[in-house]
């Protein structure tokens, strides 16, 4: 699937060493009853969470809905999005995260391609080119290492990034600005 949810698990040894009771990974979603690959993806995530229980703090939240989506976008420290370029049309969840001071870690696609100021208001995975899953995984782990280090060792930098996330993204990526822009471009 284009979202590459399992990219996180490419190098389990690295992930386990980096995370060590410091990082909680939360997955949520719902597959359509006829979406066999989507169901298999959820099954894989749950199996990994069980296999590494006690060594990796990983959960899958069942029965995903708008209420849970709101809780997640309001309470997350870092929002991960790692789609294959150029398949992300937008990525509105990442936008919502910024209104609450959350920070994005994402492939430069969809809205994040415009919004990202790497290591200022969030993190970019890769550059502006389409890359293989192997290249994406290697860059993903480098970025994740920087994210974890910043969160735990540089709280003042983390706070600056939270403020930059709000200041840089919230005024631009919102429906009020969009409706106003449409009105002036198409109806005046």
Q: pLDDT digits over 119-152, tens only?
A: 999 999 988 677 788 888 999 999 999 999 999 9
CATH number at residue 153: 3.40.50.2000
Nearest to 62 by CA among 89, 31, 86: 31
**What pLDDT sits at residue 134?**
87
**What pLDDT sits at residue 105?**
97
- The pLDDT tens digits for 76-102 are 999 998 877 665 677 789 999 999 999
pLDDT band per the 50, 70, 90 thresholds, residue 68: very high
Rounded Cα distance between 119 and 171, Å, is 19
- The pLDDT tens digits for 158-179 are 999 999 999 999 999 888 988 9
Full residue range of the structural domain in which residue 105 is found: 5-186
Which has more confidence, 133 or 11?
A: 11
For residue 34, how many other CB atoms are within 10 A of its CB? 7
Nearest to 146 by CA among 165, 119, 106: 119
Nearest to 42 by CA among 32, 52, 54: 32
What is the model's pTM? 0.90
Residue 24 corresponds to which tokens in the numbers above? Answer: 């909680």
The rounded percent of the chain whose pLDDT value lies above 70 is 96
C-beta separation of 4 from 134 below 8 A? no
Give the CA radius of gyration of the chain.
17
- Please spell the DSSP secondary structure of 9-75, one letter per residue: GTTHHHHHHHHTTT-EEEEE----TT-HHHHHHHHHHHHHHHHTTTTSEEEEESS--HHHHHHHHHH
Please count the structural domains in the chain: 1
Q: What's the distance, CA 90 to chain centroid?
A: 13
């Amino acid at each position: 699937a284009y979202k590459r949810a399992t990219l996180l698990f490419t190098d389990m040894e690295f992930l386990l060493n980096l995370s060590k009771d410091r990082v909680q990974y939360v997955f949520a979603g719902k597959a359509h009853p006829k979406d066999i690959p989507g169901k298999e993806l959820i099954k894989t995530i749950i199996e990994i969470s069980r296999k590494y229980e006690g060594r990796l703090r990983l959960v899958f939240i069942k029965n995903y809905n708008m209420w849970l989506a709101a809780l997640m976008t309001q309470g997350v420290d870092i929002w991960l999005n790692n789609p294959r370029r150029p398949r992300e049309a937008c990525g509105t969840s990442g936008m919502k995260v910024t209104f609450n001071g959350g920070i994005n870690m994402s492939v430069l696609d969809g809205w994040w391609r415009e919004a990202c100021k790497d290591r200022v208001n969030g993190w970019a995975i890769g550059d502006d080119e389409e890359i293989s899953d192997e290249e994406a995984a290697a860059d993903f782990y480098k970025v994740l290492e920087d994210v974890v280090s910043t969160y735990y060792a540089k709280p003042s930098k983390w706070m600056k990034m939270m403020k930059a996330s709000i200041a840089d993204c919230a005024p631009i990526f919102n429906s009020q600005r969009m409706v106003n822009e449409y009105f002036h471009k198409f109806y005046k």
